[in-house]
Structure formats: C-alpha cells, structure tokens
Amino acid sequence: MDNIAEEIAKLRRERKAVVLAHNYCRGEVQDIADFTGDSLELARRAAGVDADVIVFCGVYFMAETAAILNPGKTVLVPDETAGCPMADMITAEQLRALKAQHPGAAAVCYVNSTAEVKAECDICVTSGNAERVMKMFPKDREIIFVPDQHLGSHIAGLLGTEYVLWPGYCPTHARLTAKNIEDARAAHPGAQVMVHPECRKDVRDAADERLSTGGMCAFARTSAAKEFIVGTEEGILHRLRGENPEKTFWSAAELRCPNMKKATLEKVRDCLRDMSPQVTVPQEIAVRAKRAIDAMLAI
C-alpha cells in the first residue's frame, strides 16, 4: 500500500496531475486524493484545477463533468466501467420526447446524468445546491426534472411545487427502508439521523436531516450531537470518522455502490502510468452540456 501510494505520488508529480475523489470512494483512495468531496464541491474544484491532468475517482458522469469544464486538460479515470445506473436511466432521446410533450417547460437535470442529457437541459443541480437553484424559477413555470424522481420530489416538496418527474432512482439508496431507520434509532437512541435526498420519501420523512454527502460532513462537524445514523453509501463513513474522531457514526443499513468502489489504488497508479483510460466528450455535446453546468456554478 505504501509503495503504491509512493508510486502514485511520483507519477502525480511527473504528470502534473491532481487526484479528485468522491466521498463514497474507498478510504485508501480518499487518503491519497488531493481533494475529496461531494458532486458540487468536485465540480467546483474541477472548474478551477491548476494541473495538466485530472484523475477522477468516482463514477463516469463526474469525470465527464470535469472533462467538459476543462477542455484543454487530460481527464483520466481508474476504471471506465464505473458508471452510475441512475444516470443511465434516461437517454437524450427520451428527454427530447418528454420536452416535446411539455413545450415551454424548463429542463433541469440532476448532475447524475450523461453529458448528452445535460446538453438538452437549461441547468443542472446537485443534491448540495438543488434547493437554491430551483428557487430561482418562478412558481408558475413548468419544470421537467430528470432523472432522479426522489431528489426531484424532495425539492418540489420543500418549495411547495410540483415537477414533471422522470422515474429514475439510485439502486443503492433504494435499498434503505424506513424500518432500517426505525431499527437504527432503537439501537442508538438520541443519535441524529441524516439521509441522502436520493432516498425514498418514507425514508426521508423518517430522518432528521436530508443532506448531500458534503452537507452530511458539514452537519457532523457543526452539530452538538455525538452520535449519527448515516443513510447513504458507506464510503462516507471513512471521512466522517476521520474528521470527527470524538463522534460516533452508524450505518443505517449496508449500502454499497459497486461502481464507486471500482477505483482502487492500483488502478489510480495504472491510469497515471498509462495515461489511460481518458474521458472525452464530443465537442458538440460538451459545449451544450457546459452551458447547463456553468449556469449551475454561477449560482
């Protein structure tokens, strides 16, 4: 492990590379990353990167976003099969058909979407900024929100409105049930329960806080509570425990996103050594998708 970390450090210097990692990545990958964060923090970081090469440890749409924001840079992924099943639940063609059924509606996509879908949208959102971004739309504007029905209904509920939703969902968060929350509360009375907005409504309702992964890190840091039940992918526990050694974190259930675990130290080293696999987005798609991402980052 130490040898691989050293090899990565050497290659990183030679390639003038930065390693970005999502909060769900394996602990050892988070530990060697230059920056670990949620989708919004990673998109912001990718937009301002001062390096020739970005190694993106996470899932494919995140690396695509980094490539779109950095046309002159090389974006590498440790494993190009690390997709997000939710992002693949809607195609650009399906979104175009939905837009045709709702002429005049604004099209908003969760950042967990392909570049082709982003290219069809007016703006994108992450779980960390969705409420802030969606507040900008006038109440009477019809809005199509894809692909996550749960984040969409969560934000619509907060803002007292309704969106045209697409039935997409995260298979990992879909496994969390309200009974899991009830059982975890019974086992750890007094713990604060935080869940991701990708969870179903009954699960969100059973929690104390509904937060992006970055929001969970901030909440755990600032809350007076000493114990937390965490309803999201288990990789975040590494960061929560590392940043808050005096606090205790319990998983609400076993939630593992297999794609987020595909980036290993060996694959990080190999992609830096081989400068492959590289993530590229066709120029015509990238230009249109960038408009939706820039609109979000401007808020």
Q: Are 281 and 64 in contact (CB under 8 A)?
A: yes
- Residue 85 interface partner, choices ligand 13P, ligand SF4, none, CB cut-off 5-8 Å depending on type: ligand SF4
As a whole number of angstroms, the distance between CA 2 and CA 209 comes to 38
Give the range of 64-72, 84-92, 186-194, 244-252 binding ligand SF4 by CB under 6 A.
84-92
User: Among 112, 108, 167, which Cα is nearest to 136's?
Assistant: 108
Among 216, 230, 257, 272, binds ligand SF4 (CB under 6 A): 257
Q: How far apart are CA 92 and CA 104, in angstroms?
A: 17
23 binds, among ligand 13P, ligand SF4, none (CB under 5 to 8 A by kind): ligand 13P
Tokens of 232: 């999201």
Q: Is 130 in the site for ligand SF4 (CB under 6 A)?
A: no
Sign of the alpha-carbon dihedral angle for 135, 139, 141, 143: positive
**Nearer residue to ligand 13P within complex by CB, 105 or 174:** 174
Would you say 233 and 254 are in contact if contact means Cβ atoms under 8 Å apart? no
Judged by beta carbon, residue 11 or residue 151, the one nearer ligand 13P is 151
261 binds ligand SF4 (CB under 6 A): no
Q: Is 234 in the site for ligand SF4 (CB under 6 A)?
A: no
213 interface partner picked from ligand 13P, ligand SF4, none, CB below 5 to 8 A per type:
ligand 13P
Q: Where are the beta strands (DSSP E) in 52-208?
A: 53-57, 74-76, 106-110, 123-125, 143-146, 164-165, 192-195
Q: How far is the CB of 144 from ligand SF4 (least distance, A)?
A: 19
Task: Give min distance, CB of 157 to ligand 13P, in A.
Answer: 18
